[in-house]
């Protein structure tokens, strides 16, 4: 009986802190979630389409009628589309899946670090550091593919570290590879940035002879292929005429998108896109304004602590602490992840958004936690010195980062720096492992999280939209104002059910709806019956707005940036001739590319414009007939 009681107490001591961590993370990521309305309207429209058509769901089509897919593989859209199918279209149904993915990521990182170190405290530190990273608070409250990508890659690290210490590692390696393959289906080649880290951790520290470790790498690669091929093969074999055009490609190919527009083109700058939040490529990009406030808080400390801990990890066994293999495997995995992915994101010449830095957040958080535990366990003066340096770095970064928003929390940066100096001095100069030294180390670790937590709260309080949101407070917002905004926001336990007025009555969504041209929306809705697409347009912004407002398919000619050759002019004329497209709505964005320009020219030559609430609209069911103007004529097959 007493043994059971002891076991129960131990379980409570482990489970209760974890539940507190996950609960606090859920509050941060869910509170006032509807402040951003639809978030990224491009992906929101695709999720709406997937909720209406299983075929659109499978392919990741922008519209339910299946004209063209989004310019990414579709896995990240599926949780949102399923939520919209169940709960109806609204901010909460779109964004709650992203927030829950964030909570799951924090939980998996906790599990990975706890398994590596055997320490609940280290796991909690890693989870808290990730949860309070501002760019994580942004991404897990916004509808972009990076949320699911990060969850899957942390899952792959968790499975790899399980393989390192398992007597039967192949199943774990297969699972780790499958998670990376699934990551490819979320955001293509970016998922592969962690493969060197996973491979080196297993190859260097797996509990097996070298020949079996090499074979294990092959098993992991099989998992990668299987994790992606189950979707890629059906898409490649599906008749092109019976599926949507692959958005972002010139030849209707997913592999082309992965290797070009979303792959090597991002690295060498050959794919430039438009409407970017760009910074100058270079080794210090992660410290740049716009990027640094989201991710840089713990980066220097993580690198210094990680390298020092890897060297000291070999001493743990001789000092009676055990686990050197697992600890070194974890340190190598997270160090290679952080350095490899960090350099790639910093030096890439093509399309770059500041939120891409979220890929570094799990590695930085895990390194700080695993390295701090390792150095503390080494019980040596040199290790204490490394801890002190790490505390100084983590508490001095706020001086730089908070100075860029001087109205937000004036004076916090210098205060944290002073606390860091006191804590570091207490660790370095005190008697090793005394209560005072432990208190000083704890003070330094807590102080290192205050700065990023403040920026995460400010991030949660701000409305974010468009395709390039940025973490952190805006320039002229003070901390009390940010807290006031957040405290006034709702925190429902579940998304509202379909039919509940709250499902789409968030203030930000209502403001967005009022900003649209209501006569145009009414016109499109009234003519939806009998047409496959209520309208066609160019430019993702116009198409997304119209589709979300009407909840009917809108054809996005030319895809996201208007450069895709789909549909061709002949195909579009055939669709018009067979009464599948009702209206053409010119975009606010000038049409300057290929087939989009040809289609726009043909429409303006063949149909009479009508002003509807200040917008020009062409009714494609009523061609003009004056001399010299051609009527629609059949062309090629449908897109």
Give the tens place of pLDDT for each residue, 148-199: 999 999 999 999 999 998 888 999 999 999 999 999 999 999 999 999 999 9
Range with the poorest average pLDDT among 267-281, 398-412, 610-624: 267-281
pLDDT at 635: 31
Higher pLDDT, 272 or 248: 248
Contacts of 481 (CB under 8 A, 6+ apart): none
Residue 512 has pLDDT above 80, yes or no: no
pLDDT at 576: 96
pLDDT at 208: 86
pLDDT at 289: 87
Nearest of 71, 56, 75 to residue 242 by alpha carbon: 56
Best-predicted range by mean pLDDT (226-230, 346-350, 473-477, 493-497): 226-230
Best-predicted range by mean pLDDT (46-50, 245-249, 317-321, 397-401): 46-50
pLDDT at 297: 96
pLDDT at 325: 87
Give the tens place of pLDDT for each residue, 549-562: 999 999 999 998 88
Contacts of 252 (CB under 8 A, 6+ apart): 240, 245, 246, 566
pLDDT at 633: 36
pLDDT at 277: 46
pLDDT at 130: 98
Higher pLDDT, 62 or 595: 62
Q: Mean pLDDT for the chain?
A: 87
pLDDT at 432: 75
- Report the percentage of the chain scoring pLDDT > 70: 85
Residue 275 has pLDDT above 50, yes or no: no
pLDDT band of 486, cuts 50, 70, 90: low
Residue 492 has pLDDT above 80, yes or no: no
Residue with tokens 């499978």: 58
pLDDT band of 413, cuts 50, 70, 90: very high
pLDDT band of 509, cuts 50, 70, 90: low
**Cα–Cα dist 77/494, whole Å:** 19
Higher pLDDT, 321 or 30: 30
pLDDT band of 334, cuts 50, 70, 90: very high
Q: What is the b/e burial string over 39-49, where b = at least 16 CB atoms within 10 angstroms of the residue's CB?
A: bbbbbbbbbbb
**Residue 555, φ and ψ in degrees, nearest 5:** -80, 125
From the centroid of its chain, how far is CA 168? 33
Residue 4 has pLDDT above 70, yes or no: no
CB 302 within 8 A of CB 494: no
pLDDT at 447: 95
pLDDT band of 351, cuts 50, 70, 90: confident
How do the residues of the chain divide into helix, strand and coil, expressed in percent and rounded to 5?
Answer: 65, 5, 30
Give the tens place of pLDDT for each residue, 79-124: 999 999 999 999 999 999 999 999 999 999 999 999 999 999 999 9
pLDDT band of 269, cuts 50, 70, 90: low
615-623 and 554-557 beta bridge pairing: unpaired
pTM (predicted TM-score): 0.91
From the centroid of its chain, how far is CA 24? 20
Give the tens place of pLDDT for each residue, 281-308: 888 999 998 899 999 999 999 999 999 9
pLDDT at 317: 59
pLDDT band of 493, cuts 50, 70, 90: very low
């Amino acid at each position: 009986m007493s043994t059971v009681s002891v076991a129960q107490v131990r379980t409570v001591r482990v489970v209760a802190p974890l539940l507190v961590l996950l609960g606090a993370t859920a509050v941060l990521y869910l509170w006032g979630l509807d402040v951003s309305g639809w978030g990224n309207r491009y992906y929101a429209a695709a999720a709406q389409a997937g909720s209406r058509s299983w075929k659109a769901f499978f392919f990741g089509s922008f519209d339910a009628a299946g004209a063209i897919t989004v310019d990414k593989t579709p896995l990240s859209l599926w949780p949102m589309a399923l939520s919209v199918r169940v709960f109806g279209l609204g901010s909460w149904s779109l964004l709650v899946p992203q927030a829950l993915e964030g909570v799951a990521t924090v939980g998996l990182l906790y599990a990975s670090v706890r398994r590596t170190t055997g320490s609940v405290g280290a796991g909690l530190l890693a989870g808290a550091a990730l949860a309070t990273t501002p760019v994580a608070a942004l991404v897990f409250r916004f509808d972009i593919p990076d949320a699911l990508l990060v969850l899957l890659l942390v899952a792959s690290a968790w499975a790899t570290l399980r393989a390192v210490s398992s007597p039967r590692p192949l199943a774990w390696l297969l699972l780790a590879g499958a998670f990376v393959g699934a990551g490819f289906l979320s955001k293509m080649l970016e998922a592969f940035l962690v493969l060197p880290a996973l491979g080196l951790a297993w190859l260097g520290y797996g509990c097996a002879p070298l020949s079996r470790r090499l074979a294990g790498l092959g098993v992991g690669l099989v998992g990668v292929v299987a994790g992606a091929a189950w979707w890629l093969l059906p898409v490649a074999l599906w008749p092109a005429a019976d599926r949507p055009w692959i958005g972002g490609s010139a030849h209707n190919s997913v592999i082309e998108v992965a290797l070009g527009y979303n792959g090597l083109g991002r690295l060498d700058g050959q794919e430039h896109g438009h409407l970017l939040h760009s910074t100058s490529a270079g080794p210090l990009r992660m410290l740049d304004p716009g990027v640094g406030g989201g991710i840089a808080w713990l980066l220097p400390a993580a690198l210094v602590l990680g390298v020092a801990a890897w060297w000291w990890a070999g001493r743990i066994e001789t000092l009676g602490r055990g686990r050197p293999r697992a600890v070194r495997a974890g340190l190598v995995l997270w160090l290679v992840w952080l350095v490899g992915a960090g350099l790639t994101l910093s030096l890439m010449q093509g399309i770059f958004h500041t939120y891409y830095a979220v890929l570094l957040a799990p590695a930085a958080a895990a390194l700080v936690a695993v390295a701090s535990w390792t150095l503390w366990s080494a019980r040596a003066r040199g290790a204490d010195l490394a801890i002190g340096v790490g505390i100084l770095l983590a508490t001095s970064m706020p001086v730089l980062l908070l100075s860029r928003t001087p109205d937000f929390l004036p004076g916090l940066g210098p205060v944290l720096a002073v606390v860091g100096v006191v804590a570091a001095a207490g660790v370095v100069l005190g008697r090793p492992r005394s209560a005072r030294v432990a208190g000083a180390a704890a003070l330094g670790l807590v102080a290192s999280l205050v700065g990023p937590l403040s920026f995460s709260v400010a991030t949660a309080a701000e409305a974010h939209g468009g395709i390039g949101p940025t973490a952190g407070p805006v320039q002229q917002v003070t901390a009390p104002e940010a807290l006031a905004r957040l405290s006034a926001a709702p925190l429902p336990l579940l998304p509202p059910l379909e039919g509940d007025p709250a499902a789409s009555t968030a203030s930000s969504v209502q403001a967005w709806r009022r900003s649209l041209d209501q006569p145009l929306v009414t016109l499109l809705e009234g003519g939806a019956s009998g047409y496959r697409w209520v309208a066609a347009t160019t430019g993702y912004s116009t198409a997304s707005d119209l589709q979300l407002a009407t909840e009917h398919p809108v054809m996005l000619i030319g895809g996201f940036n208007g450069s895709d050759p789909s549909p061709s002019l002949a195909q579009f004329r055939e669709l018009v001739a067979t009464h599948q497209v009702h209206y053409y709505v010119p975009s606010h964005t000038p049409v300057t590319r290929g087939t989009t320009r040809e289609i726009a020219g043909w429409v303006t030559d063949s149909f009479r414009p009508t002003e509807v609430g200040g917008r020009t609209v062409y009714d494609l069911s009523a061609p003009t007939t004056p001399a010299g103007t051609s009527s629609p004529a059949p062309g090629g097959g449908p897109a």
